[in-house]
């Protein structure tokens, strides 16, 4: 979906930009379902192999060469399982860290990650230990890496004091281009209503 499509659906340009910006960070549900099924299949295969090796080991009692081969295969299976679990933990850590950095309003997740000591951050359940302290220090030293909280900038004063300036259609028609431009910049809604 393109930005123009989102605007046509009724989103503002700013909202459409946010959706397009976040789109690269999303994973389609079908892809996630495929990976979950792949993981289940891998775990079932490992469990089945372990069972087969145990059965073979009892049948091969007395044959030393076969016993050695079975022991080697069991060790390989245990190593493969440990590697697989370590890979899953790393993926969970990476996902949790990226999510936490987006929540901390990092402008560029990769740039912020490069400034963190990843070895000091540990994933405990769904919490990242050691990240908050580093983010606080990084926001103090390199605040340009993060989107500032709230609006900052100059808001022009409303001309005419309290309410909207009293401008009639006749006065609007008699205004010069520069006066109309000033009205456009200070009170677009009034300008739009008088232009129609």
92 and 168, same domain (yes or no): no
Count the domains in the chain: 2
The crossing angle, in degrees rounded to 10, of helices 188-195 and 177-186 is 130
Q: Tell me the two tokens of residue 102.
A: 């987006």
Does 146 reside within a domain? Answer: no
Name which of 90, 89, 133, 134 is nearest 112 in CA terms. Answer: 134
> Does residue 186 contact residue 159 with C-beta atoms inside 8 Å?
yes
Does 91 reside within a domain? Answer: yes
CA-based R_g, the chain, Å: 31
**Candidate ranges 41-50, 55-64, 150-159; pick with highest mean pLDDT:** 41-50
pLDDT in tens, 178-191: 888 888 888 888 88
In a 13 Å sphere around the CA of 8, the CA atoms on its Cβ side amount to 5
What number is the average pLDDT over the span 127-152? 83
pLDDT in tens, 81-95: 888 888 888 888 888
12 and 103, same domain (yes or no): yes
Does 132 reside within a domain? Answer: no
Residue 32 CA to its chain's centroid (Å): 15
Domain coverage including residue 77: 3-107
164 and 95, same domain (yes or no): no
79 and 163, same domain (yes or no): no
């Amino acid at each position: 979906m393109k930005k123009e499509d989102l605007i046509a659906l009724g989103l503002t340009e700013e909202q459409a930009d946010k959706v397009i910006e976040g789109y690269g960070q999303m994973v389609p549900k079908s892809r996630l379902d495929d990976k979950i099924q792949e993981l289940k299949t891998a775990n079932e295969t490992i469990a089945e192999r372990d069972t087969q090796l145990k059965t073979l080991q009892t049948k091969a009692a007395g044959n030393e060469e076969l016993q050695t081969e079975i022991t080697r295969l069991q060790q390989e299976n245990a190593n493969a399982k440990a590697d697989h679990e370590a890979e899953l933990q790393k993926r969970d850590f990476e996902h949790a860290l990226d999510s936490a950095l987006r929540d901390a309003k990092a402008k560029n997740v990769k740039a912020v990650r490069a400034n963190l000591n990843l070895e000091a951050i540990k994933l405990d359940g769904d919490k990242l230990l050691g990240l908050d302290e580093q983010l606080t220090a990084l926001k103090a030293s390199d605040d340009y890496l993060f989107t500032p909280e709230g609006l900052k900038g100059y808001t022009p004063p409303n001309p005419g004091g309290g309410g909207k300036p009293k401008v009639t259609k006749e006065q609007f028609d008699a205004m010069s281009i520069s006066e109309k431009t000033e009205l456009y910049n200070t009170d677009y809604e009034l300008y739009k209503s008088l232009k129609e």
